[in-house]
Chains A and B, each alone.
Chain A
Amino acid sequence: MSTTEGQTGAIALATALMLLVMLTLIALSAAQIGIGDLRSVAAEVHAQQVQAAAETAFARGLAYARRNVTTLTLSDDIGWQRCDVGDIAVPCGDGVVNRYGAQWTALRDVASLRLQANGIESRVHYLALATDDLNAAPQYGLLQIVGDGRGGDTGAAALIRQDVRVTPLLYRAPEALLTAPSARLGGQGQLRLASSQSISVWSSGDTQLADATHSCIMQAGVCGAPLSTAGIDAVDIVDVDGGLGAPDGIVAPGDVVERLFGVGAAHRASLRDAMQRLDSCLQLDSQSHAAYWIDGDCELPAGAVVGPLLLVVADGRLISHVATLRGIVLMLSPPSDPPGALRLDGRLRLEGALLSDGPLRVVAGDYQLQADAAAIDALRTGATASYWVLPIPGSWRDY
């Protein structure tokens, strides 16, 4: 009996098997390449995701610090802990080695700033220079913000760190009750100097008092005899007018923004960012102690006592029915058309200082500009002060 007996299509079978083997090998090879590609792409995607998470955390940490710097750096009951030299965990270390010894204090993983999505976590940590007292609050002035992104199937992690300076927003206390390039103050105005203060108005141009407006020195809470009045500049008005009153030698600062905040006009955007933005001044009350910025008119709530605060009014008027405002008001590009920078339907009492980067004109109204050193001090120090949070050039790092 032949071995080929009963066989049908042996060649076809062999061919089919060969094809099957070839196709299997190709499929396996393609799958292997595909899996390798997927792994590579997944690792890249995860790396990008954790980097983005770290960037997000850093941005949130910076924004939070800008808004809450006083509670963040002056409170000792929110979880600050001294870094240990052996601590390699973020933020005292980077997960591998310790980077910040015992001279730094850490606030780890601020719960309210933590974000989580698709297995990726975004955490915010803070580091501050510690004081010698282990139980004391971290030292104000220098803060490090740490953005921490981690997670994903590949266990990727990314860190971004940057140091920021925390300095009072108010760089210098105003020297005068009113500082402006020039001024014309009409209506029923009173410029009330403290006995320790000598300048009521400081201008690089001419300042004129008109109508019943006058300056005086406060004595036992009462305005003393007039110093300067309409047509008469006494030595308390330092301006450039050809010789009336004080000599013309001391020229007022050309840039009141720079004088007040220590930054020039080019930094107005960051100044604006550092302040709380107001839609309306009617939101202000006696608990308003921050630095505020409003674009357009600022209408103070009737009958309110506001501040101490730092208020910037850009391209608008200060409108008062009857109000008392404590602190410093800076007017940027104040309107000159009547009734001028102030629209007074009732009395305005400003205890502190008024500054303007443009000519200041007040046509009518009842207003008092009165020295208040305590209100200005409160803007520079203590829990009610406002601060710049400025990134330190050269301190940004990622890992």
Chain B
Amino acid sequence: MLTSQHGFSVTEAIIGLALGLLVITAGIALLTTTLTMHGSAVQRTRMNQDIRQIADGLQRDAARAGSWGLAADVASVSMRHQLQLSADSGSIVAVAAAIDGATDTAAFAEPLSASVLEGRSLTALLRDVGGSTRRYTMQIDRRLDPQSLQISLPASSPPLPSRLIAAGSWTVLDPFDGMQVDGSCLLLSYDEDGNGQRNDSNERFGYRHHSADRVIRAVNNSASCSAGSWENISDERVLDVRSLALSLRSGMIGGATLSLQRPALSWRLQVRSRRDSTMELWLQSTVAMRNDVHD
């Protein structure tokens, strides 16, 4: 019976096994290399995506900084109303009067309600006798009625050169001005819900580098780099954030003599992989403030 069996001889089996082993070893080596490369590519892609997501958020928020839902309403009311003042210093009553036959005299009605106006600053551009223009900033103490405000000029300010503020020459400063950049920490605010009032619990945004944990943290309810509920937005298992450098600068548009100031935020991010410290990425850019001051 055994003579009818046709198995491998020992030599054949050894050669077969050796060849098989060789093929398997080569296959495993190829597989390992492929997996390693793939893993590396996945890691780099993940790093790229994470870092870009952080950068996109930072840039988007920086571009939106200072956005105020009532900016157009204030401009519209200002363009159609002049302010007649009761005095040129101290406590002043400012009465809005419509110009050019405009019928709407309720300058300080909704949406410019008392809660929006009171406590804010009213600025006006007025010409002195020499013809030069000067900015005067007053405090809005109270909205007396839909046509008038109780305002006060600081004692440190010179008296107003005129008791009439022309239409379009005054505005109410918005609550979302101001942006702080402190090396590796950025603080800003904007009117996310467009209701005209700053909600400190969800409309104060920030980004900062936490040097001990080497992560990027963000917040939406803090006006301080060291307080508030900052949370990691970079994955500490993936990204080793080595540095975040932020600087606010004034961009120049036009030549040296014909120029326009426009603030811009420059940022630079240095990130390494947690798994492979040789894998390092740098990302840097400059984003223009879209709600810059045109005065």
Q: Does A pair with B?
A: yes
A19/B67 in contact, CB under 8 A = no
With A15-B24, A167-B79, A396-B67 already in contact, the answer to whether A254 and B290 are too (CB < 8 A) is: no
Chain A proximity mask over B116-150: 1 for CB below 8 Å, otherwise 0 = 00000000000000111100000000000000000
Q: Other CB < 8 Å A-B pairs besides A252-B131, A395-B68, 11 of them? A: A19-B24, A33-B38, A40-B49, A44-B52, A144-B72, A167-B168, A258-B132, A269-B255, A393-B71, A394-B174, A398-B63
Give the nearest-CB partner of B290 in chain A. A396
User: Which residues from chain A contact B130 at a C-beta distance below 8 Å?
Assistant: 251, 253-254
The contact sample of 10 A-B pairs, CB cut-off 8 A, is A12-B20, A23-B31, A141-B80, A253-B131, A258-B132, A267-B260, A269-B254, A393-B292, A394-B291, A396-B291
Whether the pair A269, B79 counts as a contact (CB closer than 8 A) is no
Stretch of A1-9, A214-222, A317-325, A336-344 that contacts chain B: A1-9
Q: Identify the stretch in B1-9, B87-95, B219-227 within 8 Å (CB) of chain A at 4 or more residues.
A: B1-9
- A380: chain B residues at CB < 8 Å are none
Interface size class of B (residues with CB under 8 A): 35 or more
B7 to A4, Cβ gap below 8 A? yes
> Which chain A residue lies CB-closest to B48?
A41
Within 8 A of A (CB), among B2-30: 4-8, 16, 20, 24, 27
Q: Is the CB of B45 within 8 A of A393?
A: no
Q: Is A165 an interface residue (CB 8 A)?
A: yes
Min Cβ gap B171→A in Å is: 9
Question: Which residues of the partner chain A approach B292 to less than 8 Å between Cβ atoms?
Answer: 393
Question: Contacts A4-B5, A251-B130, A253-B132: A163 and B75 contacting too (C-beta < 8 A)?
Answer: yes
Contact residues, B245-267 vs A (CB, 8 A): 253-255, 257-261
Collect the chain A residues with CB atoms within 8 Å of residue B24's CB.
15, 19
Q: How far is the CA of A115 from the CA of B118 in the complex (A)?
A: 45
Q: Which A residues are CB-close (under 8 A) to B72?
A: 142, 144, 163, 392, 395
How far, in Å, is B238 (CB) from chain A's closest CB? 15
Q: Are A19 and B27 in contact (CB under 8 A)?
A: yes
A residues less than 8 Å from B230 (CB atoms): none
User: CA A40 – CA B68 in complex, angstroms?
Assistant: 33
Does chain A have a CB within 8 A of B76?
yes
Give the chain B neighbours of A26 by CB distance below 8 A: 31, 34-35
Is B275 an interface position by the 8 A CB rule?
A: no
Complex partner residue of A6 from B6, B52, B259, CB under 8 angstroms: B6
| Residues of A118-155 whose CB lies within 8 A of B | 129, 132, 141-142, 144
Q: Is A390 an interface residue (CB 8 A)?
A: yes
Chain A residues 217 to 255 lying within 8 A of chain B, measured CB to CB, are 251-255
Is B64 a contact partner of A394 (Cβ separation < 8 A)? no
* Contacts between chains A and B (CB distance < 8 A), count: 119
CB–CB A269/B258 < 8 A:
yes
**B70 → A minimal CB distance (Å):** 8
Contact residues in A for B68 (Cβ distance below 8 Å): 394-395
Residue of B nearest to A268 (CB): B258
> Across the interface, which residues of B come within 8 angstroms of A144, CB to CB?
72
Contact digits for B38-55, partner A, Cβ 8 Å, 1 yes 0 no: 100010010001001000
Chain A residues with Cβ under 8 A from B103's Cβ? 132
Q: How far is the CB of A76 from chain B (nearest CB, A)?
A: 19
Q: Are B67 and A259 in contact (CB under 8 A)?
A: no
- Size bracket of the A interface: 35 or more
Q: Which residues of A contact B237 (CB under 8 A)?
A: none
CB-nearest residue of chain A relative to B259? A269
Report the minimal beta-carbon distance from B88 to chain A, rounded to whole angstroms: 21
Q: Decide: B71 and A163 in contact? CB cutoff 8 A.
A: yes
> Is B66 an interface position by the 8 A CB rule?
yes
With A and B bound together, what is the CA distance between A390 and B49 in angstroms? 37
CA distance A391 to B292 in the complex (A): 9
User: Are A142 and B67 CB-contacts (below 8 A) given A44-B52, A255-B132, A259-B131?
Assistant: no
Chain B residues with CB under 8 Å of chain A are 1, 4-8, 16, 20, 24, 27, 31, 34-35, 38, 42, 45, 49, 52, 60, 63-64, 66-68, 71-72, 75-76, 79-80, 103, 130-133, 168, 174, 176-177, 194, 253-255, 257-261, 290-294
Whether A392 contacts B79 in the complex (CB less than 8 A), given A5-B5, A30-B38, A254-B132, comes out as no
Q: Kindly list the 6 A-B residue pairs having the minimum CB-CB distance in the complex, ordered from nearest.
A: A394-B71, A269-B254, A163-B72, A394-B68, A396-B290, A253-B131
Bound: A327/B48 CA distance, A? 59
**B64 touching A396 by the CB < 8 A rule?**
yes
Query: A375 CB to closest chain B CB, in angstroms?
Result: 22
B32 to chain A, nearest CB (A): 11
Contact of A269 with B75 at beta-carbon distance under 8 Å, contacts A258-B133, A394-B66, A397-B64 already known:
no
Which residues of B sit under 8 angstroms from A287, Cβ to Cβ? none
Is A266 located at the chain interface by the 8 A CB criterion? yes
Bound Cα distance from A33 to B37, whole angstroms = 14
A272 adjacent to B258 (CB under 8 Å)? yes
Q: Which of B80, B174, B294 has the most CB of A within 10 A?
A: B294
Chain B residues in 8 Å Cβ range of A11: 20
Contact A395/B71 with A269-B254, A269-B258 known, Cβ cut-off 8 Å: yes
A141 touching B294 in the complex, CB below 8 Å, given contacts A2-B1, A12-B16, A394-B67: no
Measured between beta carbons, the chain B residues less than 8 angstroms from A132 are: 103
Is A37 among interface residues, defined by CB-CB distance under 8 A?
yes
Answer yes or no: A197 CB below 8 A from chain B CBs.
no
Q: Is A116 among interface residues, defined by CB-CB distance under 8 A?
A: no
- Report whether A33 and B42 are in contact in the complex, using a CB–CB cutoff of 8 Å: yes
The chain A residue with its CB closest to the CB of B53 is: A44
Residues of A within 8 A of B38 (CB): 30, 33
Residues of A within 8 A of B8 (CB): 8
Partner of A269 from the list B42, B66, B133, B260 (CB cut-off 8 Å) is B260
CB distance A141 to B42 under 8 Å?
Answer: no
The residue on B at minimum CB distance from A34 is: B38
Residues in B whose Cβ lies below 8 Å from that of A394: 66-68, 71, 174, 176-177, 291
Indicate whether A270 reaches chain B with its CB closer than 8 angstroms.
yes
Report the bound CA distance from A76 to B79 in whole Å: 22
Q: Is the CB of A395 within 8 A of B67?
A: yes
Which A residues are CB-close (under 8 A) to B131? Answer: 251-254, 259
Convert A15-41 into 0s and 1s, putting 1 for each residue whose CB lies closer than 8 angstroms to a CB of B.
Answer: 100010011001000100100010010
Q: Give the shortest distance, in Å, between B42 (CB) and chain A (any CB).
A: 7
With A254-B131, A258-B133, A259-B131 in contact, is A5–B4 under 8 Å at CB? Answer: yes
